Each structure stands twice: as C-alpha cells, then as structure tokens.
Chains A and B, each alone.
Chain A
C-alpha cells in the first residue's frame, strides 16, 4: 500500500473531470430538464384553465336555454290571449251582423206588410164600391154615393 505520485496524478484527473462536468455536462442537462418541467407545468395549467372555461360556458349555455324557454312560454301565453281576443271579437262582429240582418229583414217585412195593406185597402174599397154598385145600381145614383163611400174607405 504505497502512496506515491499516482495520488497527485489522480487528483489532477479528478479535478479536470469535475471541471468538465460543472462546465459542460451539468448545465445542458439541467436546462433541458427544467425547460421540460416548465412546459409540463404550463400544459397542466392550460388544461386547468380550459376546464374552468368549459364550466363557465356550460353554465352560460344553461342560463341562455332557461331564458329562451321562459321567452317561449311568454310568447305562447300572449298568443293564446290574442287568440281568445280574436275569437271574442269575431263573435261580437257576427252577433252585430246578425242583428243588423234581422233588423233589415224586419223593416222589409214591415214595408211589405204596409204595401200589402195599402193594396188590400184599395182592393177592399174597390170591391165595396163594386158590390154597392151592384146593389144600388138600380136605385141609387152612382155618382152621388161614390163620394161618400170613398170617404168611408179612407177611414178604414
């Protein structure tokens, strides 16, 4: 076990190896590993961000859907209301029209009745005169009595 100059030679070799590693081996490895670690961390953070953004979007879409549903039901309600209103209006119109037609018909009927009455009146007076003429031809002067009879007919 003799200690000799080999010790110093080995120490120098050791020093050179340490210098080499400190200078050329460790830094690039460390840089590569640390860069990768950072990239992975960034990726995970981005994924987390994406997940939360997705959650927000889902909530938003839910809210929009609920709003749309509410609006739709409102519109339906309004439409139903309007429909009843229209039906009511139509009913009212129809009734008024019907009343108008009935009134018109009644007036026409009255007119017809009056016209018939006039006709009948004229015919009755004529018939009466004709009957009276036939009865009285012989004994009464037609002229004198027709005046009196037309007065009578006017009173009817």
Chain B
C-alpha cells in the first residue's frame, strides 16, 4: 500500500506493476535462462506440504474404522477416483488416478495462495529481504504451461504406447474425417490444431483466472490509499471477492484435473 514505501508516494500503476513483478534470478545468458524464485519456492513448498500431508495419512491408513483425518483424505481420494473412473476405463490406479490427485491437490493449493492478503505477504517477504514476490504460482504462466506441457507430453506418450508409433501416425492422418486420400491433409491439419490448442487452452484457462483474480485483489487494495472510508470499502469488497474466489480456486483446480484426465483418457482410445 501507500505506507509500504513511505519515502515516496506510489502511483497506482507502480503499485500494481510492483506486485506483479517476479523475483527473477538469471541462471545463464539470454532471457530464457531466468528462474522465478518466488514461483518455484512457493510451488515446491506447497507441493511438498500437500502431498506430504496426504502421504503421512496414507502411510498410517488402516482398513478398519478410519480417523477423521483419514476419512477426509479418503473423501478427496474417492472424489478424484470417481471422476477418473467415469472418464477412463483402463487400469487407472497405475498412473492416471494418482496423477489426477496430484494435479488437483497441487493446483488447488497453489490457487489458494490467492486468499493470503497480498500486501501482508509482501510486507513479510520485504522483511526477509525479497523485493519482489509473487505468492500465487498458478498466476505465473510458466507454472501452468509446465503442467499443461507435461500432460501434453504424457498424452503423446500414451498415444504411442497404446497404439504404437504407426498407429499414432495413422490416427493423425486418418481421423476424424475418414480414409479418402484427399481428406488426409485436412485430417492432419485438424489434428495439428487440436494438439496445439489443447495445452494452450489447458494452461491459459487456469493462468487467466488466477491472474485476473490477483489483479482484482490489487485494484481493491488500492482503495486503502484513499483514506479510512476507502479502506473499509476496499476491505468489504475484498472480502466479497475472496468469498467468490473460493469458488474459482476450487473450480479451476477441478477443471484442470478433469481436462488432464480427459486428455490422458483420449490418448488411450483408438478411433
């Protein structure tokens, strides 16, 4: 907020662009070789925390009467397993269902970082010496692209694994429009667009939602700069947006998981 830098008054665009800048560290020559330390640290800590918690419960899981903690984990497990069961009809326990659980819990945790009051997080990270810090890893396009591209590679991997390399190439040229030789380029073009659009829509949907959510929190935060009544007004609006954001956080994590399962299930199906 304005009090953050008492020495000079921030303009709104300075405030927003400051909050939206990454803690980028260069690891080599060229603009590609930079690491967003904030995104990486936050997401890895969240991943370890969430999957570690589930692992801790899973380790002590009994087939008898479950504790409340175990019942909660089993509830999440059953929820994810049900979704996967409805979409994918192979052996889901060996890979797809655990992947779906990982995606759901990790993305949910990363999205949930949006609930933390953005300026208080900034105060804390400033205090421990980081000037720029983005708390929501999923509002970094690198994270969403990393997930979507990983799924995309798995998609191609399973396609080739299930149908063989020849079968996969055959599918690229012979579906969806048929076997007449003059539609083969059309088929290929269609599949190419599909293969490009899948990771794009997969990653940008999540990124867009979380980024927009963050920007709206920042805009509401700026009310505090207008005085006491503005602070109260901004707090009320921020609370409202937070409550609505609970839905978005859960929904986007769910959608991301469902798309993951759908893409991987489609890769297993022969046309």
Contact = CB atoms under 8 A, between A and B. Distances in A.
Interface of A: 1-11, 13-15, 17-18, 20-22, 24-33, 35-36, 39
Interface of B: 24, 27-28, 31-36, 39-40, 43-44, 47, 51, 54-55, 57-59, 61-64, 66, 70, 73-74, 77-78, 93-95, 97-99, 101-102, 106, 137, 140-143, 145-147, 149-150
Main secondary structure of the interface of A (DSSP, over half): helix
Nearest to A36: B63
Contacts of B55: 20, 24-25
A24 B93 CA distance: 12
Contacts of B44: 13
Contacts of A30: 77, 93
B134 to A, nearest CB: 11
A29 B106 contact: no
- For B24, B62, B146, the residue with the greatest tally of chain A CB atoms inside 10 Å of its CB is B146
Given A2-B34, A25-B51, 10 more contacts: A4-B31, A5-B34, A6-B39, A6-B142, A6-B146, A7-B145, A7-B149, A13-B40, A21-B102, A29-B77
Given A6-B142, A15-B150, A18-B99, A29 B58 contact: yes
Contact of A10 (B62, B63, B146): B146
Main secondary structure of the interface of B (DSSP, over half): helix
A30 B91 CA distance: 13
Contact of B43 (A10, A18, A39): A10
23 contacts: A1-B141, A5-B32, A5-B34, A6-B142, A6-B143, A9-B40, A9-B146, A10-B142, A10-B146, A10-B147, A11-B146, A11-B150, A13-B43, A20-B55, A22-B94, A24-B55, A24-B58, A26-B97, A26-B98, A29-B58, A29-B61, A33-B78, A36-B63
Contact of B36 (A6, A25, A31): A6
Nearest to B144: A10
- For B31, B58, B99, the residue with the greatest tally of chain A CB atoms inside 10 Å of its CB is B58
A8 B142 CA distance: 8
Nearest to A16: B47
Query: 8 closest Cβ contacts across the A-B interface?
Result: A35-B63, A10-B146, A32-B61, A6-B142, A26-B98, A11-B146, A6-B36, A7-B142
